[in-house]
């Protein structure tokens, strides 16, 4: 068997595999001999069927099967030995008049080659790494929320100051029909809250969406409309009241603090706010990290320049799935997946160049820490090592879980690398400002 390669250009190659009779004849004969031993054909004893009949009935199919096995094995070995970094899989070049009646064959395969490129994590950029601070406004709101949550609810007939109202926002033309509960201090204009005063269950209030809240994004929650629809939304909606609730606020005393955090962990309102701030900023840090990761990813895709064997990949996409695609469908699919493929290549290079490969021991240690944290959340603060490792073993016997955890761990390694290498501008923001930054509405 002879395998040769012709590099069409830097991103495309054609591999030619020449198969001679000596490569496959012995294997074909052995398979046919096995068929003969077990063949049952009327007029002949089992095992005594003439080989000419076996050859006539099964010969072509066995030949095709054995040659195909040879092709796959030898082509795969060739790609490994030549250290060829390919995209997709080799595509056989179709020959309409291919002749299986000759003894020697020639097969051609198209290859899409991975591009050569460099990744510069230290390149100049306009990225921002946000640190989200729980400001006094947020802390006061959280304390008030806790007092409401742990206070007593009192059903009311009529809306009064400090009440919450539940009901349905509706606008038939825009398809809005969303039940929600809101406190009257959520509105931007105090006149809006006053419009609710004295109203009863069943009453309908008409409101304008423009300037209804201090932040248009709140329309997403209260009206259940998409982000693209909220900016400049200027329509009338009705709010039909179906419940009015008053609150007897919980007292900020030691009994409440102990209920929230355990005995004597918090002993004053100042400590309560400090604890809320600490817990909130831990959660915010995860959100800020995710945005930073996403922003660096987008930056790298946009600024790491390389070509792809696009035409090859479109042809490969056409034939790769269970159901073949049309050229137009493959074009659309390629457009959707191109950035994902680009980052896959960028990520692979980053992993290789920075030795971020995950070992079994890495994954086991990561899983162990996750299990311990989960057990702690359910009150098991000091589990035995035997219990933990038993759970770890069960989790790691599940291939889907191993794949998911590996992705999490790699993302964590990549994030830490980005924090270390990518020189982004640090910026402290409130949570409201961070939400605006998420949607590209906060100026750097």
Hey, where are the domains in the chain? 2-113, 152-248, 280-438
Residue 203 has a pLDDT of 96
Q: Is the pLDDT of residue 440 over 80?
A: no
- Give the pLDDT band (50/70/90) at residue 442: low
Mean pLDDT of the chain: 92
310 vs 229, more confident: 310
* Residue 358, CA atoms < 13 Å, CB-side half-sphere: 21
Closest CA to 387 of 368, 364, 409: 368
Q: Is the pLDDT of residue 247 over 60?
A: yes
Fold of 152-248: Chitinase A; domain 3 (3.10.50)
Residue 232 has a pLDDT of 81
CB 368 within 8 A of CB 388: yes
Q: Whole-prediction pTM value?
A: 0.74
pLDDT-above-70 percentage for the chain: 99
Of 1.20.58, 1.10.8, 1.10.132, 1.10.3120, the CATH number of 280-438 is 1.10.3120
Closest CA to 203 of 242, 177, 246: 242
Please compute the mean of the pLDDT values over residues 345-349 and round it to a whole number. Answer: 96
* 10 to 114, 244, 309: CA distances (angstroms): 9, 70, 9
Residue 170 has a pLDDT of 95
Q: Is the pLDDT of residue 46 over 80?
A: no
Q: Is the pLDDT of residue 70 over 80?
A: yes
Residue 443 has a pLDDT of 53
2-113 against 280-438: fold identical: no
CATH architecture for residues 2-113: 2-Layer Sandwich (3.30)
Please compute the mean of the pLDDT values over residues 297-322 and round it to a whole number. Answer: 93
Task: Please state, in angstroms and rounded to a whole number, the distance separating the CA atoms of residues 314 and 335.
Answer: 9
Residue 38 has a pLDDT of 78
Could you tell me which residues are beta bridge partners of residue 123? none
Q: Is the pLDDT of residue 272 over 90?
A: yes
Residue 254 has a pLDDT of 95
Q: Is the pLDDT of residue 343 over 90?
A: yes
Q: Is the pLDDT of residue 215 over 60?
A: yes
Please compute the mean of the pLDDT values over residues 117-132 and round it to a whole number. Answer: 95
């Amino acid at each position: 068997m002879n395998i040769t390669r012709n590099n069409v250009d830097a991103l495309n190659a054609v591999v030619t595999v020449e198969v001679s009779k000596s490569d496959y004849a012995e294997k074909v004969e052995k398979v046919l001999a096995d068929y003969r031993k077990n063949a049952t054909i009327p007029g002949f004893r089992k095992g005594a069927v003439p080989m000419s009949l076996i050859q006539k009935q099964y010969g072509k199919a066995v030949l095709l099967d054995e040659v195909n096995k040879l092709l796959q094995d030898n082509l795969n070995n060739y790609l490994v030995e030549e250290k060829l970094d390919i995209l997709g899989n080799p595509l056989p070049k179709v020959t309409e008049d291919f002749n299986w009646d000759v003894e020697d064959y020639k097969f051609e395969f198209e290859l899409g080659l991975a591009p050569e490129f460099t990744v510069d994590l230290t390149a100049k950029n306009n990225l921002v790494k946000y640190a989200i601070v729980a400001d006094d406004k947020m802390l006061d709101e959280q304390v008030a929320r806790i007092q409401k949550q742990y206070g007593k609810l009192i059903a009311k007939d009529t809306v009064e100051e400090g009440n919450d109202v539940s009901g349905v926002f509706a606008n038939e033309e825009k398809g809005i029909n969303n039940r929600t509960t809101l406190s009257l201090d959520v509105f931007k204009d105090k006149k809006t809250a006053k419009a609710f005063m004295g109203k009863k269950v069943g009453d309908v209030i008409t409101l304008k969406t423009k300037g209804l809240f201090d932040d248009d994004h709140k329309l997403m929650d209260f009206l259940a409309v998409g982000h693209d629809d909220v900016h400049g939304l200027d329509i009338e909606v009705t709010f039909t009241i179906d419940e009015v609730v008053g609150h007897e606020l919980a007292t900020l005393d030691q009994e409440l603090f102990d209920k929230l955090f355990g005995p004597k962990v918090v002993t004053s309102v100042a400590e309560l706010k400090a604890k809320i701030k600490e817990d909130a900023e831990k959660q915010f840090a995860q959100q800020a990290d995710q945005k930073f990761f996403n922003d660096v990813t987008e930056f790298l895709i946009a600024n790491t320049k390389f070509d792809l064997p696009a035409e090859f990949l479109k042809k490969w996409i056409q034939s790769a799935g269970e159901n073949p695609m049309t050229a137009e469908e493959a074009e659309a699919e390629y457009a959707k997946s191109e950035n994902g493929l680009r980052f896959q290549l960028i990520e692979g290079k980053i992993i290789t160049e920075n030795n971020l490969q995950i070992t079994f021991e890495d994954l086991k240690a990561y899983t162990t820490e996750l299990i311990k944290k989960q057990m702690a959340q359910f009150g098991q603060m000091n589990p035995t090592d035997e219990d933990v490792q038993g759970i770890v073993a069960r989790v790691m016997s599940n291939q889907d879980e191993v794949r998911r955890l590996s992705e999490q761990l790699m993302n964590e390694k990549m994030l830490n690398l980005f924090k270390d290498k990518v020189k982004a501008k640090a910026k402290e923001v409130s949570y409201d400002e961070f939400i605006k930054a998420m949607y590209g509405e906060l100026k750097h």
